[in-house]
Amino acid sequence: MQSSLRNLGQLAAALASAKVTSRELVEGCLARIAAADGEGARTFLKVAHKQALAAADFHDAMRAQGATIGRYAGIPVSIKDLFDVVGDVTTAGSVVLRDSAPAAQDAPAVARLRAAGFVIVGRTNMTEFAFSGLGLNPHYGTPRNAWDRATGRIPGGSSSGAAVSITDAMAFGALGTDTGGSCRIPAAMCGIVGFKPTARRVPLTGAYPLSSSLDSIGPLANTVACCAALDAILAGEPGSTLPVATMANLRLAVPTSYVLDAMDADVSAAFQWALSTLGKAGASITEIPLQELDELPDINRKGGFAPAEAYAHHREQMAAAGAQYDQRVYTRILRGREQDAADYIELRRRRLDFIERVTAAIGSYDAVLMPTVPIVAPTLDAFATDESYLRLNGLVLRNSSVVNFLDGCAISIPCQEPGSAPVGLTLFASTNADRKLLAVAAAAEDCLQRNR
Sequence ranges of the domains in the chain: 7-234, 247-443
Sign of the CA dihedral 437, 440, 444, 450? positive
80 is catalytic: yes
Instruction: Please check the confidence at residue 6 and state whether its pLDDT lies above 90.
Output: no
22 is catalytic: no
d(CA 304, CA 394): 13
pLDDT in tens, 172-202: 999 999 999 999 999 999 999 999 999 999 9
Task: Give the pLDDT confidence score for residue 165 in this predicted structure.
Answer: 98
From 22, 78, 132, 158, the catalytic residue: 158
From 182, 211, 213, 216, the catalytic residue: 182
From 80, 132, 159, 196, the catalytic residue: 80
Give the right CATH number for 7-234 from 3.40.50.300, 3.90.1300.10, 1.10.510.10, 3.40.50.261: 3.90.1300.10
Task: Give the pLDDT confidence score for residue 2 in this predicted structure.
Answer: 42
Question: If you average pLDDT over residues 268-273, what whole number do you get?
Answer: 98
pTM as predicted: 0.98
Instruction: Please check the confidence at residue 272 and state whether its pLDDT lies above 90.
Output: yes
182 is catalytic: yes
At the top level of CATH, which class does the domain 247-443 belong to?
alpha beta
More confident residue, 1 or 77: 77
